[in-house]
Amino acid sequence: MTRTAVIGAGASGTLQALHLLRAGAEQVTLIERARAPGRGVAYSTGRPEHLLNVPARRMSAYGDDPGHFTRWFAARAGGGDEDFAPRMLYGDYLSGLLAAAGDRIAIVRGEAVGIDGEGVRLADGRPVAADAIILAPGNFTPATPPGIDPESLGALWIEDPWAGDLAEGLGARDIVLLVGTGLTAVDVALTLDATGYNGRIVALSRRGLAPRAHGLAEPLVTPPAEPLPSRCVALLRHVRARAQEIGWHHAVHELRPVTQPLWAGASRAERRRFLRHLRPWWDVHRHRVAPAVGARIAAMQAEARLAVAAGKLVSAAPAEGGALVRFRVRGSDAVEALRVARIVNCTGPELDIVRAGDPLLSALLGAGKIRPDPLAIGIDVDGECRAIGVDGRPSERLSVIGPVTRGTFWESVAVPDIRGQAERVAARLTA
């Protein structure tokens, strides 16, 4: 029987281990270096205001049992199919599935730093025997944005947006700057609000785009009736026209069943064009927040407690009473200054595996066992999630799943997409 090790016990690794068991594996080893197994970054939060970004009916761990999570959610918290559960509850769900597997899933705590002929090597020297290995690293920590010098800013700079009490020592006259306006910034704004901070929050990004909210009832997914154009400009025109006809929520939903085929059929030049010009707009319309979250963010903006600004950070330096931040307003050469009490890194995960600084990935890159995808937004894999080495050949031993496969699949972040990958890899390894 093939000995299988999964490196990373967040949502991706947990789903992979569970599907390996379902496909017939007798035992799986799940390696986790830091967090509680089954949670990862997204589901380690202890804040009840951090909700899932999709309704409960789409969050089952098993594609052939779409009601698996909703039944659990109803029994645990009285939730319904269309409700957006707290993320910490979803972490309870995944960790509970791991616990129910018993000793069929062996949890090994330690940091993987290498892969050799025998299996996985841990930082403390322990070997983990494995014939097949699956990388499930999840999202990497955010990079430090240009203009920020953490050493000079000291405690004024919050590198980890989920660490500690962000509002500690702040008052009503203070301003907190969030560098980034995406989902991480939404989390931080909600936490500041929920923990009693009543000062101002300014969220800054180059385009000043913030995530849109779901409608009160998410429409059912129906694929487009006709083939869609593959070129970015033509596709954008199509979606805008459909939004005029049926509303933007429905127009974006129509793309969900065909997004991966569209990405797979696009040339490298079109993919680069999409990333350069359209990705920020795609992110805020495709990766939406729960209606309750959207309403709270809108209320904070209406109360002038939260402002979203478009501009490029130029510098940040300690000043009396906090930090003096300078940024260039979008569409202008003007540089504005803002005195803030705290700066929080909300730029989102690092995508480039070369810059990520992960010890295992650095070792695998050095050994030629993996390579960056052509867009430098993850690890290069083939359509079966097999890692592609520096020689251009897919590995029969090393697989990769989750967000780091976005270069091949694009849609690889949401649970339904990761679940599909886990099912395919499990079927291939246990065939």
Per-residue pLDDT of the chain (431 residues; tens, 9 = 90+): 579 999 999 999 999 999 999 999 989 999 999 889 999 989 999 999 999 999 999 999 999 999 999 999 999 999 999 999 999 999 999 999 999 999 999 999 999 999 999 999 999 999 999 999 999 999 998 999 999 999 999 999 999 998 778 888 999 999 999 999 999 999 999 999 999 999 999 999 999 999 999 987 766 667 777 788 888 989 999 999 989 988 888 888 888 889 999 999 999 999 999 999 999 999 999 999 999 999 999 999 999 999 999 999 999 999 988 999 999 999 999 899 999 999 999 999 999 999 999 999 999 999 999 999 999 999 999 999 999 999 999 999 999 999 999 999 999 999 999 999 999 999 999 98
Distance, CA of 64 to CA of 49 (rounded, Å): 30
* Fold classified for 4-50+86-141+350-430: FAD/NAD(P)-binding domain (3.50.50)
Asked: is 150-212+289-345 a CATH 3.50.50.60 domain? The reply is yes
Distance of CA 160 to the CA centre of its chain: 15
- How are the residues of the chain apportioned to helix, strand and coil, as percentages rounded to the nearest 5? 35, 20, 40
The CATH 3.50.50.60 domain(s) of the chain lie at: 4-50+86-141+350-430, 150-212+289-345
- Of 286, 280, 352, 289, whose CA–CA distance to 310 is shortest? 280
Contact call for residues 371 and 388 (beta carbons, < 8 A): yes
Residue 81: count of CB within 10 angstroms of its CB: 15
Distance, CA of 126 to CA of 130 (rounded, Å): 13
Helix (H/G/I), strand (E/B), else coil: 72: helix
H/E element holding 335?
Answer: strand 335-340
C-alpha dihedral, 244 to 250 to 255 to 257, nearest 10°: -150
- Give pLDDT, residue 225: 74
Distance, CA of 217 to CA of 238 (rounded, Å): 24
Burial bucket for residue 146 (CB in 10 Å: 0-12, 13-18, 19+): exposed
Distance, CA of 410 to CA of 261 (rounded, Å): 10
- pTM score of the predicted model: 0.94
Provide the edge-to-edge strand list for the sheet that holds 127-129: 112-115, 119-122, 127-129
Contact call for residues 202 and 179 (beta carbons, < 8 A): no
